[in-house]
Amino acid sequence: MQTIEPLLAGHSFFKGLPKEHLKLIVGCSSNAIFNPEQFLFREGEEANTFYVIRSGRVQVETFSPKNGPITIQTAGEGDVLGWSWLVPPYHWRFDAKAAEQVRAIAIDGKCLREKCENDHNLGYELMKRFALIIAERLEATRFQLLDVYGK
C-alpha cells in the first residue's frame, strides 16, 4: 500500500517544497472517496479542507434561483480543489459535487493553518501556490464570461 507522502511529493502543487514542510502537510492529510452526486462541500458551510483530486471529476457549482445549480468549473485528476479554508471567514463560496466516483487526498485546513502559524515559511509557500491557483481560476472565469457575454 502506498502512503500519502509520495503521492503529494509527486504532485506539481507540492514540487520543490522542503521535505520538512511536506511532512507537516502529510500529517494533516487523509484519503477520501466520494460517490457520484455526493457533495465534497456546500456553499456557506465551514471550510476546513482542501483536496488533491487523484481520480474522477468534481463539478464546482453555484446556485441560481432562476436556473438552479450551474456548473462553473470541473476539477479532475491532478487538480487542487478548495481555497476557502485559507481565507477568513473560512466558509465555502461554492458547492462541489462528485460527477463520478472521486478519489482524493483530503488535507485538513484547520490543522494546516495552525502549522502555518507556527512556521511562516510554510505559510508563505502555500500562499504563493494558492495565489497562483486563484489567479488561474479568475482568468478562466473571465474567459467564460467573455464567451457568454462577448460579441
Tell me the residue ranges of DSSP E strands in the chain.
29-34, 39-41, 49-55, 58-64, 68-75, 80-81, 95-98, 102-108
Q: Quick: pLDDT tens for 67-101.
A: 899 898 999 999 999 999 999 999 999 999 999 99
Determine the average pLDDT of the residues in 116-122.
96
> Whole-model pTM?
0.89
Q: What pLDDT sits at residue 24?
A: 96
Domains and CATH numbers, the chain: 4-149 (2.60.120.10)
3 state DSSP class of 52: strand
Which of 44-48, 122-126, 133-137 is predicted with the least confidence, judged by mean pLDDT?
A: 133-137
